[in-house]
Chains A and B, each alone.
Chain A
Amino acid sequence: MAKDMTKKKIIIVGGGISGLLATIKVCELGGEVYLFSYCPVKRSHSLCAQGGMNACMDTKGEHDSIYEHFDDTVYGGDFLADQLAVKGMVEAAPKLIKMLDRMGVTFTRTPEGNLDLRNFGGQKNKRTCFSGSTTGQQILYALDEQVRRWEVKGVVHKYEFWEFIKIIKNKEGICRGIVAQSMNTMEIKSFPADTVILATGGPGQVFGRCTASTICNGSAVSAVYQQGAEIANPEFIQIHPTAIPGSDKNRLMSEACRGEGGRVWVYKDGKPWYFLEEMYPAYGNLVPRDVASRAIFKVCVHMGLGINGENRVYLDLSHIDGDYLLRKLGGILEMYSEFVGQDPRKVPMEIFPSVHYSMGGIWVDRFHFTNIPGLMASGECDYQYHGANRLGANSLLSAAYSGTVSGPEAMKWAKSGKNGSELSEAEMEAARAEVQREYDKILQMNGSENAHKLHHEMGDLMYKYVAIERDNNGLDACLVELKKLLKRWDDIGITDRGHVANQEAMFVRQLRNMILYAMAITKGARCRDESRGAHAKIVLENGQRKHDENGDLVFMGRDDKNFMFTTIINYDPKTEEPLVSYREFDHSLIKPRARNYAVAKKE
């Protein structure tokens, strides 16, 4: 088949919601997409989103407004999100929902046939559109179907089971292609493009056990970071308050449980203590995730009130009608029964907070361009929209919205003539050969360390020092330990030297990227001397954690003067260490105010 040479070629790495929507947009604008993914795009991590997608539909008679959604998002994000970007997103939200509805997303409906809405954390109005408790899955599938339609038309070329390794820049320093490796045949190849969009999702695996899929390792983000892309706000890692702890992974129990009336409690003095409702009377169980996580952590770790002394609290749905629950939350209740062996409709679930989402990511401007020309980032792998803490059900929104921005912008850039010269065969081969050399070196590794054990250690380290409560001692220690891990990486020995689906060799390469990303997270956290959103830092006094007269830990306050800036992390190729600086962002629309969920929001 003769290829249309005039068609603009866009490489999109990652087939989650953001990547797929960008793909659709590019196709509609006449471009040709090369879609790379670790897995069949239909198995991307977007499908783990459960609770829903926020959009001001205002169909519940609550006089909800787009402004309210805007304010909730900015306030929930502790005033660290670019407000113009957020405004664009919340304004587009209802339109996106209608589009997804037309695409066949099986949203849950009211008796009248309208889209049903539910409550979600950090918002007082019903604003969350949902499909049972597998909303992400349903949205992803609908987009996957649309992309398949374009694939049949021959304008989408899927490279599933291909791992993105790095970008290729032309002589002007503009990104004009990528190197990727087949995960089955292990073939390494260069691919040219007019624009490259990364939509590779979050770095959950940096923390080992988390709610993320095993494929969410942030390796691609780290790879471009090492090639000069700036990472922004990586220290803001969302800890989801309600997850089923597990040794292989912490399985998410959607915020929708609380949205549908679930209550969190532990026994105190022999009686149930609904501590969230007591601590935050205005929002109760529906406080934002960072607030809920810290409260649960405090109750379990500092007060020792966890179930049977373990780090668990109850998430209770048993007071709600079983049929209603099945209809609204069927998917996740079934999951709980399956993995824990108890029926959440009858007994309270046992949950504990877990690493869940990264607000930070590759720095992008409002059009999703990174600081490397020709390279864009979209979805969880970018830092836009959520500030210091993400509201529940805003992730599907940001994923979808960013795709609708990055796709058309990628086409605009491709047509602008600013993207410099095409890659020559020699440049492409040079890039390929370099990756091949690195890969061959990994295949020869013959040391004493096991990559998976190292990964496990890194996860423990990150959980210990860079999770819910942080302090500068711990962060310093963590950085030292991470550097040691990086050293030990060189001493990895691999047992698999095969040339078919060598998952071990691929993992070794990803692990190095993960360690470097972990360093960026830790360094960002170390340098931010304040508490904001998901980043909560304890005051040190004489080198010890400071406690107040009640014995409670004293956290640093929010410091708008010094830290209402975006953290920017650059990679120092010489020392391999992260370099921290700060950058202004737009906060012109809503004036910062103190964040307090004990009282109803005052604007």
Chain B
Amino acid sequence: MAEKVRFIIERQDAPDAKPYNQEFDVDYRPGLNVVASLMEIQKNPVTVDGKKVPPVVWECNCLEKVCGACMMVINGKAQQACCALVDNLKKPIKLQPARTFPVIRDLLIDRSRMFEALKRIQGWIELDGSWENRDAPIQNPYTARTAYEISRCMTCGCCLEACPNVGPQSDFIGPAPTVQAYLFNLHPLGKFDAPKRLNVLMEKGGITSCGNSQNCEAVCPKSIKLTKYLAQLNRDVNIQALKNIFDN
């Protein structure tokens, strides 16, 4: 008899439906992760009570921890399900949707607010066009390394879920989009629009909503030093505020 792993999954049939729990057993195998377990449930969607139910709905793409799709709350903590190895989790394993975001169904959530926030912070470089015009400017390799670190952010939403200041009760855009502003301010061309981005961060829901709980950095699956860049941005917006006052 194969060893079983018990999953308690918080399900919800529609965006406005009431959540309920269902329990499933999955055959253990070495290296088993939460996504693989959910896939097994797909193949045999039967609860521990022997009831045949619709398979659990969730989002996943790459299963390599680069796409950010499979973020969910596992045993109370927001994380990527693909790299949540069953071996490292307390049993029974409890899966919940990240309720900081609107739930669509089961573990599937709507993270469009993060992409909207990226629009708000003007997270891009103002290019003349995608045609050839000249060589790209040389970049300081150390700055580039910092930029790479931040640019690995996969918009998974762990930091938003863990941040006590993000949620329906607040308008904070969250750590990830905030820190993305810094990424563009680092680029030799993106720098030109740094004041614009900093001014956006000074608005309601911007960086001032950060309460320094530092959960974001603790849960970031990419180990991005979010709090460091938030502090740097704090410094930058303060200077920008002085400029706003005295340069006019």
So, do A and B actually touch in the complex, CB under 8 Å? yes
Residues of A that sit less than 8 Å from B by CB? 21, 24-25, 28, 39-40, 42-45, 47-48, 95, 98-99, 101-104, 106-114, 131-132, 134, 137-138, 141-142, 145-146, 148-149, 151-152, 160, 184, 213-215, 246-249, 251-252, 327, 331, 335, 338-341, 404, 450, 452-453, 456, 495-498, 500-501, 503-504
Q: Which residues of A contact B147 (CB under 8 A)?
A: 104, 106
State which of B129-137, B208-216, B239-247 sits at the interface with chain A: B129-137
B141 touches A21 (CB 8 A): no
Interface residues of B in 135-155 (CB under 8 A from A): 135-136, 138-141, 144-145, 147-148, 151-152, 154-155
* Cα distance, A107 to B63, chains bound together (Å): 24
Contacts A42-B115, A99-B132, A148-B115 hold; do A452 and B43 have CB atoms under 8 A apart?
yes
Contacts A39-B59, A43-B61 hold; do A495 and B45 have CB atoms under 8 A apart?
yes
A43 touches B54 (CB 8 A): no
* Cα distance, A48 to B63, chains bound together (Å): 10
Question: What is the minimal beta-carbon distance from A446 to any residue of chain B, in angstroms?
Answer: 12
A108 touches B59 (CB 8 A): no
B119 touches A500 (CB 8 A): no
* Cα distance, A42 to B82, chains bound together (Å): 18
* Cα distance, A339 to B81, chains bound together (Å): 12
B65 touches A335 (CB 8 A): yes
Could you say which of A114, A151, A327, A496 contacts B138, with CB atoms under 8 Å apart?
A114
B36 touches A108 (CB 8 A): no
Q: Which residues of A contact B5 (CB under 8 A)?
A: none
- 18 example contacts (A-B, Cβ-Cβ < 8 A) are as follows A25-B130, A28-B131, A42-B115, A48-B62, A48-B64, A109-B141, A111-B141, A146-B124, A149-B126, A184-B108, A213-B67, A214-B62, A248-B82, A251-B64, A452-B39, A452-B43, A501-B104, A501-B105
A500 touches B104 (CB 8 A): yes
**Which residue on chain A has the smallest CB distance to residue B110?**
A184
* Cα distance, A214 to B59, chains bound together (Å): 10
* Cα distance, A500 to B109, chains bound together (Å): 12
B63 touches A102 (CB 8 A): no
Contacts A98-B135, A151-B119 hold; do A28 and B129 have CB atoms under 8 A apart?
yes
B123 touches A246 (CB 8 A): no
Could you say which of A145, A251, A450 contacts B63, with CB atoms under 8 Å apart?
A251
**Which residue on chain A has the smallest CB distance to residue B44?**
A450
Residues of B that sit less than 8 Å from A by CB? 13-15, 29, 31-33, 35-36, 39, 42-45, 52-55, 57, 59-69, 82-83, 85, 104-106, 108, 110-112, 115, 118-119, 123-127, 129-132, 135-136, 138-141, 144-145, 147-148, 151-152, 154-155, 183-184, 187, 189-190
Q: Which residues of B contact A44 (CB under 8 A)?
A: 61, 67
* Cα distance, A114 to B140, chains bound together (Å): 9
A213 touches B63 (CB 8 A): yes
* Cα distance, A249 to B39, chains bound together (Å): 11
Task: Sort A-B residue pairs by CB-CB distance and give the 7 closest, nearest first.
Answer: A496-B54, A101-B136, A248-B36, A145-B124, A113-B138, A106-B148, A109-B141
**Which residue on chain B has the smallest CB distance to residue A138?**
B151
**Which residue on chain A has the smallest CB distance to residue B140?**
A113
The residue in B59, B118, B139, B155 that gathers the most chain A C-beta atoms within 10 A of its C-beta is: B59
Question: What is the minimal beta-carbon distance from B61 to any residue of chain A, in angstroms?
Answer: 4
**Which residue on chain A has the smallest CB distance to residue B88?**
A341
Could you say which of A98, A134, A152, A503 contacts B152, with CB atoms under 8 Å apart?
A134
* Cα distance, A452 to B127, chains bound together (Å): 45
Q: Which residues of B contact A495 (CB under 8 A)?
A: 45, 52-55
Q: Which residues of B contact A137 (CB under 8 A)?
A: 66, 152, 154
Question: What is the minimal beta-carbon distance from A354 to any residue of chain B, in angstroms?
Answer: 12
Could you say which of B57, B61, B132, B184 contacts A214, with CB atoms under 8 Å apart?
B61
Contacts A214-B63, A453-B43 hold; do A40 and B123 have CB atoms under 8 A apart?
no
A456 touches B43 (CB 8 A): yes
* Cα distance, A21 to B63, chains bound together (Å): 25
A500 touches B152 (CB 8 A): no
Could you say which of A95, A109, A160 contacts B139, with CB atoms under 8 Å apart?
A109
* Cα distance, A288 to B29, chains bound together (Å): 34
Q: Which residues of A contact B69 (CB under 8 A)?
A: 39, 43
9 A-B pairs besides A146-B130, A338-B83, A500-B105 with CB distance below 8 A are A43-B155, A47-B154, A101-B136, A102-B125, A213-B67, A214-B62, A246-B36, A450-B43, A495-B45
B66 touches A148 (CB 8 A): no
Q: Which residues of B contact A98 (CB under 8 A)?
A: 132, 135-136
* Cα distance, A453 to B43, chains bound together (Å): 6
* Cα distance, A106 to B14, chains bound together (Å): 40
Contacts A110-B141, A335-B65 hold; do A500 and B13 have CB atoms under 8 A apart?
yes
* Cα distance, A31 to B63, chains bound together (Å): 35
A47 touches B52 (CB 8 A): no
B35 touches A107 (CB 8 A): no
Question: What is the minimal beta-carbon distance from A99 to any residue of chain B, in angstroms?
Answer: 6
A504 touches B136 (CB 8 A): no
B144 touches A339 (CB 8 A): no
A141 touches B151 (CB 8 A): yes
